[in-house]
Structure 1
Amino acid sequence: MLTGEEFVDASALHRRGWSISAIARHLGRDRKTIRAYLEGRRTPGVRRRPLPDHFARFEPYVRERLFEDPHLWGSTLFDEVTALGYPRSYVTFVREIRKRRLRPRCEACAGVKGRPTIEIAHPPGEEIQWDWLELPDAPWGGEAHLLVGTLSHSGKVRAVFAEGEEQAHLVEALDGVLRRLGGTARRWRVDRMATVCDRATGRLLPSFAAVARYYGVHVDVCPPRRANRKGAVESRNHFLAQRFWWTLQAKTLQEGQAKLDRFSERIGDRRRRGRGSVAELAARERLLSLPALPYPAVVEAERVVSAACLISYQGNRYSVPPGLHGQRVTVRRRLGSQQIELVSTAGSVVACHRLVPAGAGALRRHDEHRIALERVVLQSLTSARPCRRKANRPPGEAALKAAAALAGEPRDVVVALEAYARYAEASR
């Protein structure tokens, strides 16, 4: 293939009277190639296809189908054109669709990509943006739920791991983020979380409106499918997922939370934002003070009782009465209180404990639980010698008699003469 510059040179030399061979030697090309371009049989800059265009015959059909439904799956469309005689593979088929730009743009699903944008002014201390970040394959097992809060003016971010995304867990994580930020902004911006508002109308739930009144803030709910309204927290989600979560090594949720706090202070706050760092801009934020205690929501979490009649909660272990091992109990705690209740599946409170700071690795066992468990363990002990598992025990006398009865038992043999009669009749 000749480029446009080479074609210009070849044309100029040909007008000067150069031969095809001389032009080919000068440009380092084949004589047949130079002749084809000078005679107009080939176009400069366009590579000749070595194979026939199998897609060209099906392009009108594919174009019309994608115009009718821009969301039509490529595999579904491939099944249709294959039935019409398309001979190539699925990979080649979708590559031709992309290259020829046959799929029209859907404005409703395109988000903000390709649309005009403008910077939104965020005064210091005016707004904090919230979002859940679901992180799969947590090192401690299952899926991690991370509530991320970002100050829109400075970009300062803090996040808290939660056991779930129910409203009580949301309030607990929300208070934890605010206390790590050192206060709250005057407005909270959230997307249409089912625990915050009615997703159809966008109106706040009465239960979450009480939370907002407790902290003295306004709540702004984003319109549906408008991620650009909370772009600050969306970008911090990507930052945490790639810079922190990608290489996190932690055995427990509490260990992961401690490493996240250190990461946010040492790396997140040192990022450059405009002419200063995030920490320098955050120092200008005029945040509102927080209440002394978090909003008194009731948090519940299910746990399985171990063989030692203990349950694990926030990196500590608490005892229950004996007889519940292997069963599920519910840990119930009111935010701001220093007491936790352990509730059985029947709904009765089986134990109460004083809450230990998360991640302390402490063991809290009541004396009455310890005495009762010791009694159960001692009663289960026995002085009988355990069975010997490697002894030789051939079949006994009773088993041998039963085997002999089975061996000597007569078997009934039934001979059907009717079949023989039919065969004899047929042979005659």
Structure 2
Amino acid sequence: MEITALRKRGWSISAIARHVGHDRKTVKAYLNGERQPGVRQKTTVDPFDQFEPYVRQRFTDDPHVWATVLFVEVAELGFERSYPTFTRALRARDLRPHCEACASSKGRAHVDIDHPPGEEIQWDWLELGDTPWGTKLYVLVGALSHSGKFRAWCSDSDDQAHLIVGIHEILSRLGGTPKRWRVDRMATVIVPGSARVQRSFVPVAKHYGAGVDPCPPRHGNRKGVVEATIKFITQRWWRTARIDSLEAAQVSLDDFSVNVGDLRRRHGTTSTVAELAATEQLLGLPPVAYPADVTVTRKVADNALVSVWGNHYSTPPGLVGTDVGVRWRFGSDTLDIVSPAGSLVVSHRVAPRGAHRTVRLPEHTAALEKVVLGEFNSDRPCPTKPNRPPSDAALAIAAEIVGDQAAASPVIDLAVYQRVIEGGEAS
């Protein structure tokens, strides 16, 4: 303000510089608007400059991508500064696009609930419709309320049988079960419109020795641990996951849960999720899984195979193109394929999930070969250079067409060709 006022009074730049005790070039830069008060001029190159175009493009592709995800990506590209430096650059350059819908959302009042170690696990489904392989993906998420440690199970259905399978798979990955299971009012566990546990689910909870606690109506934040975990999985894993099948999704998600999820810092503490989870005393699991009966529908391919959980199982060739049922009792080493009418077609030994094995019975192989070979034609192809002049029948038809003219044989008049040629040259 002072140098501007002195300049308006007619002072020279040199006189102003001597008066304020600064260099002439500094005074001139302020007067010309090249510098601003309180903003120091950079003396080094900002290391974020070379990564800014990539970050801008990522925000153009996905305005809601998390900064933690972008930080991992730019770190792999060579960004060597810390995460706070990265986020400070995002804010200073205002790189994230504005979203009016998200900006207008408002939070709700909440209170932190104390969760003793080993006391509770929260369950919920994550439904993903836009998958690379074209079918809907259901992810069952189980998160320990005290530590926040989670594991997840990928499924192609969210019915009760697949829920039971997912619960056992997740508890096996966690190494045990807490005393209480917290669920929202999913119809496969809780009777709709009440707080009663479904009669078909009661034996499941008894089998694992756990109690079931439904969330209060319209209080989804009561299971905020699993809700935050689902948001974390969606933004940090699913949004950038490179997968092409349900089986690949499971492998990727297991790796993400251990190498990323367990290394998070638990909110409000200096401990990681894995460190807090080590203090949770979980109940042991029963020696065998609950025998849930899983049923899925599959279409028989042209090679008389049915695709189930990353493997292929054979059927008689007569079922090609039809929808068949696949029945499997969880924990059993066999699965049954039934016809559309419900009758048993064949039983197979179950291959490990995602093993990409083809299980084909010898009789199915022989039957398929018989069908395929029966469709082959061993006749020689039609000859391409025969001499077949017009037959008598053709000549008779030709005689009817030309009337009185003789039609015993075609007559080629070269004069006609000569006239055509001469007419073409004239034109």
* Residues matched between the structures, number: 293
Please give the alpha-carbon distance, in whole angstroms, between the structure 1 residues aligned to 2:323 and 2:363. Answer: 21
Q: Look up the match of 1:104.
A: none
Please give the alpha-carbon distance, in whole angstroms, between the structure 2 residues aligned to 1:344 and 1:386. Answer: 40
Confirm or deny: 8 A CA contact 2:150 2:261 kept in the other structure. Answer: yes
Confirm or deny: 8 A CA contact 2:136 2:156 kept in the other structure. Answer: no
* Distance change (3 Å), C-alpha of 1:351 and 1:278: same
After the TM superposition, which residues 15-414 of structure 1 pair with which residues of structure 2 at under 5 Å, given as runs? 113-115=107-109, 117-273=110-266, 274-385=269-380
Report the CA distance between 1:118 and its aligned residue.
Answer: 2.2
CA RMSD of aligned residues (A): 2.8
Which consecutive aligned stretches of 4+ in structure 1 deviate over 2 angstroms post-superposition? 112-115, 384-389
The aligned amino acid for 1:185 is P
Report the CA distance between 1:356 and its aligned residue.
Answer: 0.5
Q: Secondary structure at the match of 2:248?
A: helix
Please give the alpha-carbon distance, in whole angstroms, between the structure 2 residues aligned to 1:331 and 1:175. Answer: 20
Q: Look up the match of 1:422.
A: none
Confirm or deny: 8 A CA contact 1:188 1:220 kept in the other structure. Answer: yes
Please give the alpha-carbon distance, in whole angstroms, between the structure 2 residues aligned to 1:230 and 1:347. Answer: 41
| Runs of at least 5 residues in structure 2 that lack an aligned partner in the other structure | 1-99, 385-390, 402-427
Q: Look up the match of 1:86.
A: none
Please give the alpha-carbon distance, in whole angstroms, between the structure 1 residues aligned to 2:120 and 2:207. Answer: 17
The aligned amino acid for 2:245 is T
Report the CA distance between 1:221 and its aligned residue.
Answer: 0.5
| Runs of at least 5 residues in structure 1 that lack an aligned partner in the other structure | 1-94, 96-100, 102-109, 390-395, 406-428
Report the CA distance between 1:136 and its aligned residue.
Answer: 2.2
Q: Look up the match of 2:405.
A: none
Confirm or deny: 8 A CA contact 1:310 1:317 kept in the other structure. Answer: yes
Confirm or deny: 8 A CA contact 1:139 1:249 kept in the other structure. Answer: no
Please give the alpha-carbon distance, in whole angstroms, between the structure 2 residues aligned to 1:120 and 1:387. Answer: 84
Deviations 1:190-238 (A, max 9, x none): 0000111112112111101111111110000012210111000000010
* Distance change (3 Å), C-alpha of 1:185 and 1:386: farther
Q: Percent identity?
A: 50
Please give the alpha-carbon distance, in whole angstroms, between the structure 1 residues aligned to 2:280 and 2:383. Answer: 75
Please give the alpha-carbon distance, in whole angstroms, between the structure 2 residues aligned to 1:361 and 1:183. Answer: 29
Please give the alpha-carbon distance, in whole angstroms, between the structure 2 residues aligned to 1:132 and 1:191. Answer: 10
Please give the alpha-carbon distance, in whole angstroms, between the structure 1 residues aligned to 2:383 and 2:195. Answer: 71
The aligned amino acid for 1:170 is L
The aligned amino acid for 1:136 is G
* Distance change (3 Å), C-alpha of 1:158 and 1:385: same
